[in-house]
Amino acid sequence: MDTEVRTANPEYAWAEYLHCMEGTPEMDSLPAAKRTAASPVWGILLCLVMTVVSIWMSGFTFWPFLINGHPTFEPVMISIVIGLILGNIMPLAVFQPGIKFSVKKMLPLGIILLGAKLDFKQILQLGAVGVTVSCFEVIMALILMFFLTKWLKLSSKLGTLLGIGTAICGGTAIVAAAPVLEAEEAEVVFGVATVTLLGLIGMFILPVLGHWMAMSDKAFGIWAGLSIHQLPQVVAAGMAFSPEAGAQATIVKLARICLLAPIVFLVGFFYTHHKAKKDQKVSPGKKINYFSMFPKFVFGFLAFAFLQTKGWLPDLTIHFPGQMASTQDPQYHLRAIVLQCSTFFIVMSMAGVGLETKISAMKQTGWRPLLAAGLSALIIALVILTLIKLLVMA
């Protein structure tokens, strides 16, 4: 995004917040006088409160937060919605420094810790058919969204975010990929909202269609795991069909999530390469330093995925000196703690994104992104269903 665009449109400050992860000079949208006078404390406290409320609301045990005994809304989505509401009805001047801190510092840390969610060995549990279909689904989703983006004349960044969200794991994938693309706030918010809506629709419709077609538990589990975007929605749809289908759908979905790391890495590499080539055209003879431009947090993300795959995030039992060993000694599941911290940091950063996003900016995206994502999800579900009938149910 060009400097002139960011300066002229302060509501599109997402990429500006992420310069610390790109190795490029940072800009501050606040005038110098306000930077020195305003304290980040109030904005940080606001985002903290919103984070706690969002996580609390995601545990509500009534409709629509709980369907068929399983949660349907992730805290990320709830925090964005709360941020959108507050950010469009109240002045934010005093909160700006803290909001900026929450997005700029918490997001990369949360994404790094998110790597602990990925275990590449889960792919092997699918077998040859499951791995082949999973990889095909991801590639098809990205290619399909590329052509739909061209056809409907969408922003390439928004199209890429929707493609990644559809291909892998919904809002989490969009949040993880947004920094490497320097995506605008409105694009991130619209992308998360779109894949969440489509995932909810699929969560209700697929179990009904599965029973109507008399699908086996294994077949439906693979179909739900590859066609629905977010993990809570996949689990809910699978369990609505049968407990066996729910278990199969969860394994398929977790294996699909494992592809998040390489996809984010590749998207970041190609975007960085394209950006460097563009800069070289503007400044001929300029030496390109790809490493300095590539978001460093991606390497931390991959490192945590490697640790989890190798089993180096163990469960810990703390025994205090002078006491006899006991089953009452506190036990800590290191991976669970890391993932809880990741969720907290990402939700906190998305609260800031929601606060900074104006409804007027989201309206500018129009109906075309929703149409593109909807067509993509529908085509993928039909193609995957056909492959399952040929490879699994034959």
In the Cβ-directed half-sphere of 308, how many Cα atoms lie within 13 Å?
A: 26
Distance set, CA 215 to CA 123, 218, 342 (Å)? 23, 8, 37
Do the beta carbons of residue 220 and residue 241 sit within 8 Å?
A: yes
Do the beta carbons of residue 64 and residue 199 sit within 8 Å?
A: no
Tens digits of residue pLDDT in 36-45:
456 889 999 9
Residue 18 in this model has a pLDDT that exceeds 50: no
Residue 344 in this model has a pLDDT that exceeds 90: yes
Separation of alpha carbons 330 and 296, rounded Å: 35
Question: What is the greatest pairwise CA distance in the chain?
Answer: 71
Residue 163 in this model has a pLDDT that exceeds 80: yes
Better-scored residue on pLDDT, 360 or 198: 198
Q: Which residues lie below 8 Å from residue 363, measured CB to CB, with a gap of 6+? A: none
* DSSP designation for 287: P
Which residue has 């693979």 as its token pair? 222
Which residue has 């709830």 as its token pair? 78
Q: Domain spans of the chain? A: 3-315+332-391
* DSSP designation for 165: I
Separation of alpha carbons 131 and 303, rounded Å: 23
How many residues are listed for the chain in this entry?
394
pLDDT at 14: 45
Residue 19 in this model has a pLDDT that exceeds 60: no
* DSSP designation for 168: I
| Torsion of Cα atoms, 19 then 185 then 54 then 119, to 10° | -60
Tens digits of residue pLDDT in 375-386:
999 999 999 899
Helix (H) / strand (E) element for 244: namely: helix 243-257
pLDDT at 12: 42
Which residue has 């993928």 as its token pair? 380
Separation of alpha carbons 29 and 35, rounded Å: 9
Name the burial class of residue 131, with classes exposed (0-12), middle (13-18) and buried (19+) by CB atoms within 10 angstroms of its CB: middle
Going by their DSSP bridges, the two strands 70-71 and 315-317 should be labelled as: unpaired
Helix axes 107-114, 334-356, angle to 10 degrees: 140
Alpha-carbon radius of gyration of the chain: 22
In the Cβ-directed half-sphere of 208, how many Cα atoms lie within 13 Å?
A: 5
Separation of alpha carbons 379 and 383, rounded Å: 6
Better-scored residue on pLDDT, 389 or 19: 389
Separation of alpha carbons 220 and 240, rounded Å: 11
Q: How many CB atoms lie within 10 A of CB 275?
A: 17
Write out 43-110 in H/E/C secondary structure: HHHHHHHHHHHHHHHHCCCCCCCEECCEECCCHHHHHHHHHHHHHCCCCCHHHHHHHHHHHHHHHHHH
Do the beta carbons of residue 319 and residue 329 sit within 8 Å?
A: yes
Helix (H) / strand (E) element for 133: namely: helix 127-151
Helix (H) / strand (E) element for 12: namely: none
Better-scored residue on pLDDT, 23 or 60: 60
Which of 79, 264, 302 has the alpha carbon at shortest distance from 163? 264
* Cross-strand pairs, 315: 333
Better-scored residue on pLDDT, 252 or 130: 252
Better-scored residue on pLDDT, 273 or 354: 354
Q: Average pLDDT of 261-279?
A: 78
Amino acid of residue 131: V
Q: Average pLDDT of 17-32?
A: 43
